[in-house]
Every structure is written in structure tokens, then in C-alpha cells.
Amino acid sequence: MSLKTFFTPGRPVGKDQKAWRWFVYVFVLLGLLLDNLNVAGALNTGKSLEKEFNVSSSTASWALSAYALTLGSFIILFGKMGDIIGVHIMYLGGLFVMLVFSVLVASVKSSIIAVIIFRAFQGIGGAALIPSSYAITGNYFKGKDFYTALTVFSIILVSSFGIGLILGGALGFSNFFYFSFAVATVCFIVLWFIIIPVERTAAHDKLKLKNLDFPVGAMLVVGLLLIIFGLTEAANTWNSPKVYVTIPIGFCLLVAIFLFENVYLRTYKKNHQANYYQSDDHDEKGSKESPIEQHTYDSDDPINNKKSWRMNVDLLFPIEIFQLKNCLPLFFSLFLYYASFIVYMTSLLQYYEYLHGDSALLAGVKLLPLTIGLVVSSITVTPGYVSFIGYKRSLILSGTLSLGAAIWINRSDYTVVNDYWKFNAVPLFLSGFGVNSFFKVYLSSIMLQTEPHLHGLVTGIFQTGAQIGVSIANSIASTMIGNIAVQLAKEDYKPLLFHKFRNVLYLNLAINSTIFLLMFTIKEDKPEEVEQEQPATDNQV
């Protein structure tokens, strides 16, 4: 093996090597597991972190918040960059960042500030892993194999929540991240030699890193950082400049980016298109194109006699994304489902620990029905299931199950004997089934409508919305519960805490009611028709 080969990640394979592709894909999914594993594990290591570093719960919570802050801020940018440089390269880069900062987080013994900073860098690694994993799935597999891959993808993704909760409670903070480091290291070393590079199509070749609008990308990251930071601080108080200044500024930056790209740049390109000619490798067939298609132009500006960056720049928010079928209902439903999921995870973990008196490990085990529902849905919600029930009706059923589960869980009462088995175990399973039923239908719909060279960008945009939903819900729920340490100091704290947890469950009921209503705005679709409309490009991997 030459040095050049050794330092070049992956190896191409023929399209007939199906078994090898699946072998590689399993390691890709094991690496992706680290994202949810780190989130769920950090949720259930709070007490361990407080004890180890002798800090308050609000300070310890930044170990989770710092990860979410950078994760949500960089997903779109890294999704776009992965489409340009190769999603397998972006994936390996994210995995390397994860392994380095996992061991750094685990080895810190005295400084909570260092932990928070290292967790923020971990979030950057997660932001590279997530969109590139989605894109690898869409590029490696087509037709029936795609749906099979989506099932495996979903099982690995959702089971990591349950695994993370249990491991976090069992191992404690430092040991949990040593475990994360071990998994990341094995996956990185193996995938460096075997990951299959996604073959670049003509559309991929039109995307160039030099055409990425880096100033706009920087504004995007800053805007998202401000929004998520403000929402994180809102968990303590909404009446602070850290909240009511940062959030509006962040949203203004996002609106400015969207208007700049889709009003100014789009108008400029339209007005000057006649003076340019498209590159030679442009598809001249004039046949069906993806709903999202960005063209680049190679000629000089005849007026200014120089290259025009405005004609060549690749947009981060092409308006065509929002013209995908059912885009907005699916986007906001994903936003709300993630919000509901984090409310369940955070509020019920604390409910079990402080009102039931359970250990962190047992509290994590009690949430297992949620994970089991997610996994069962991954296996049973197939194209045949959707075809039999109907695309829209399957989504309405998802919303119905989630709403019914929220109503049932809302009856929780720690003073009732066996209230977990009466009011939590079954509805948690139903909620998990409903959530993942939506996730599988949404993801297949979006992926099949989008050209492979834009999978990273599109999934990045949707996942950013989901992360903002998590931040908003977590902030509101934390505000409603308040400082638990102060309340635990009171003599009769349980009735007061129960009242606060009940209010959070009402919040979750409102979220799921909105999801249920959104499902009726979905336009009917058929999986078979979507699959036929998918480009027939042979992306050999």
C-alpha cells in the first residue's frame, strides 16, 4: 500500500458488491449512533456531573446545552459542504472530531468550563455526522434497498436513545465519554480504510467549494448560535438581555440571509442569465429535473469584464426547498415532534428521580418503552404499510397515537400506587411508535424528492429546525419546573414539584394537539409514485 493510498480515505467498489456496501453501512450507522448516545447519556449524567465538579444543576446543564448549541448552528453549513467535498469525507471529519473531544471531555477532572467547551466542539462533530449520514443512506441505496436501509438507519438511530439513557445512568459522566471515545475510535479506524466514496455525478461536479458563500455561511452560524444560546439561557429566565436581545437578532440575521439569497441574488441571476452560458457539462436533455436545481455559470461578466460571484454562488437557502411537496407541514411537524420528545425525556427523567425516588439508572430503564416503540415502528412501518393505510392516513395515525399517549401520560400521579404501569409504560410505547412512524414517512418522502447532490443541505435544514424545537421546548419546560435544588430544600417539596411537572405535561399535550392538526394539512402522496419520479442516475458505489 502506497502512502497516497494509506492517507486517502475509503475504497471504491462495484455496484455488484452489495454485501460489502451493507457491511460498510453498519459502521457508518454505529458512528452516527454517537450523536443520540451523547445527547441521551448527557441527559442522565447530570447528577454525576454535579457531584464530580461540585456545581449547580444550572451550570451542569450547559454540558448538554453547549453540544446542542453548536450542533444546531453548524448542521446546514456542514450539510452543504458535505455535498460539495463529498459526504464520506465530511462524515469522517465529524467522527474524528467526536473521538478527540470525547476523550478530552472524559479526562477533565476539575474544570467544568473545560467540559463545556469540549462539549461544544463535540457538537460541531455531530453537526458534520448527521447530514452526511442521511446523504450516505440516500446515495448508497436505491429502490427497495433504500427502504431497507432506512429501516436499519431508523432502528440504530432510535435505539441509541435508550442505550444512552441506561449507560449514562450506569457509568456516570467520565466513564460514559470514555465509552463514547472507544466506539468513535473503532468506527473511524475501520471506516478510514473501507468507507465507500459516493460517486460524483455531473450535478456534484457543478458544486465547488469556492462558490460557497462563506460570509453568508458565517452569518448563518452566528444567527443560529444567537437563537439557540438565547433559548438555552431562557431556561433560567426570559427577562434577560441574553434572551430578549440575542433571539431577535438571530432571527433577523436568518431573515436577512433568506431575503439576500432569494430576492437579491435570484433577481440578479434572472436578469443577467441571458449574458451567460452554462457550463459544458450541463444536462441539455431538458427532461425532468429535481424540484431543487442550482445552476452555475462559467463565463465572464460582459459588463464588468470579470467573473461574477453572484452568478456562481451556491445558495444555502434555495427557495425551491420550500416548494418540495408537503415541505412546510413536514418541517413544522418535525420541529414539534422533537420538542415533544425532549419534553418527555427531560421531565419524566426528573419525575422518576425526584417523585418516585428512583436512581438515574432506573429512571433511564423506565423510559425504555419509548425506545421500544421507536424500534417496533422502525420495523413495521414499511412502504407496504404506508401503501395499505395511505400516505396521509399513516401520518394522521401517527399524530393520533402521539396525542392519545400525551393525554394518557397527563394522568400521571405519584401518589397513585403503580402509577408508572397505569399511566406511563403503555403510552410511552405508543408515543414512540407514533413519533417514528412520522419520522420514517417524512424522511423517505423528502429524500426521494431531492437530488443526491443536495441531500446534505436539505436534511441539514430540516434537522436545524428540529434542534431549534428542542431548544425552545427545553427552555419553556425548564422555566416551568424552576430550580429543582431550591425546591428540594423545602420540607414538603413533592406536591409543589408534582404540580410543576403536571404543567409541563400540559405543555406536551398542547404540542401534540398541534401536531395532530398539522397532519390534516398534508397532501396525499403515494410512495410508489415518488419512487418512480426519483432520478434514474446510476450512482455506482
CATH code, 105? 1.20.1250.20
Give which of 71, 74, 65 is closest to 43, Cα–Cα. 65
* Cβ atoms of residues 168 and 360 within 8 Å: yes
The last residue of a domain, from among 242, 259, 275: 275
- Buried-state track 389-419, b at ≥16 Cβ within 10 A, e below 16: eebbebbbbbbbbbbbbbebbeebebeeeee
Percentages (nearest 5) of helix, strand, coil residues in the chain: 75, 0, 25
* Cβ atoms of residues 141 and 127 within 8 Å: no
Is residue 319 assigned to a domain? no
Same domain, 338 and 265: no
Is residue 316 assigned to a domain? no
pLDDT value of position 262: 84
* Domain limits for position 528: 326-534
Same domain, 245 and 186: no
First to last CA, the chain: 22
Same domain, 256 and 131: no
Q: Collapse the DSSP code of 376 into the 3-class scheme (helix H, G, I; strand E, B; otherwise coil) and give the result.
A: helix
Q: How far apart are CA 81 and CA 55, in angstroms?
A: 38
Is residue 186 assigned to a domain? yes
Which residues on adjacent β-strands are paired with residue 212? Answer: 314
Is residue 288 assigned to a domain? no
pLDDT value of position 308: 67
Is residue 2 assigned to a domain? no
Q: How far apart are CA 459 and CA 276, in angstroms?
A: 31
DSSP label at 109? -
pLDDT value of position 475: 83
Give which of 192, 179, 162, 177 is closest to 6, Cα–Cα. 192
- Phi, psi for residue 314 in degrees, rounded to 5: -90, 130
Same domain, 184 and 235: no
CB atoms within 10 A of CB 319: 13
Q: How far apart are CA 435 and CA 421, in angstroms?
A: 21
Ramachandran region of residue 212, left (φ > 0), alpha (ψ -120 to 50) or beta? beta
Give which of 358, 488, 174, 498 is closest to 367, Cα–Cα. 358
Cα dihedral sign for 368, 484, 420, 359? positive
Same domain, 113 and 169: yes
Instruction: Return the C-alpha cell found at 372.
Output: 421500544
For 272, counting Cβ atoms within 10 Å of its Cβ (0-12 exposed, 13-18 middle, 19+ buried), the class is middle
For 20, counting Cβ atoms within 10 Å of its Cβ (0-12 exposed, 13-18 middle, 19+ buried), the class is middle
Reported residue count of the chain is 541
* Cβ atoms of residues 370 and 428 within 8 Å: yes
DSSP label at 211? G
Instruction: Return the C-alpha cell found at 101.
Output: 473531544
Q: How far apart are CA 416 and CA 377, in angstroms?
A: 30
Give which of 527, 153, 529 is closest to 377, Cα–Cα. 153
Q: Which residues contact 260 (CB under 8 A, 6 or more apart)?
A: 216
Same domain, 377 and 271: no
Is residue 302 assigned to a domain? no
Same domain, 238 and 367: no
Q: How far apart are CA 320 and CA 449, in angstroms?
A: 11
Cα dihedral sign for 344, 461, 61, 237? negative
Same domain, 175 and 227: no
Q: How far apart are CA 21 and CA 13, in angstroms?
A: 8
* Cβ atoms of residues 26 and 155 within 8 Å: no
Same domain, 146 and 231: no
Regions of the chain short of the pLDDT cut 50: 1-7, 277-293, 296-306, 528-541
Q: How far apart are CA 164 and CA 126, in angstroms?
A: 15
Q: How far apart are CA 242 and CA 227, in angstroms?
A: 10
CB atoms within 10 A of CB 287: 7
- Buried-state track 52-86, b at ≥16 Cβ within 10 A, e below 16: bbebebeebbbbbbbbbbbbbbbbbbbbbbbbbbb
Q: Which residues contact 153 (CB under 8 A, 6 or more apart)?
A: 29, 133, 137
Give which of 376, 343, 346 is closest to 363, Cα–Cα. 346
Same domain, 164 and 250: no
* Cβ atoms of residues 127 and 527 within 8 Å: no
CB atoms within 10 A of CB 200: 13
The torsion of the CA quartet 477, 482, 485, 486, rounded to 10 degrees, works out to -170
Give which of 204, 83, 75, 196 is closest to 455, Cα–Cα. 83
The last residue of a domain, from among 168, 195, 222: 195
Is residue 282 assigned to a domain? no
pLDDT value of position 283: 45
Is residue 3 assigned to a domain? no
Give which of 108, 103, 127, 125 is closest to 181, Cα–Cα. 103
Same domain, 339 and 227: no
Same domain, 176 and 229: no
The last residue of a domain, from among 160, 195, 230: 195
What is the number of domains present in the chain? 3
pLDDT value of position 142: 84
CA distances from 136 to 101, 123, 140, 539 (A): 24, 20, 6, 11
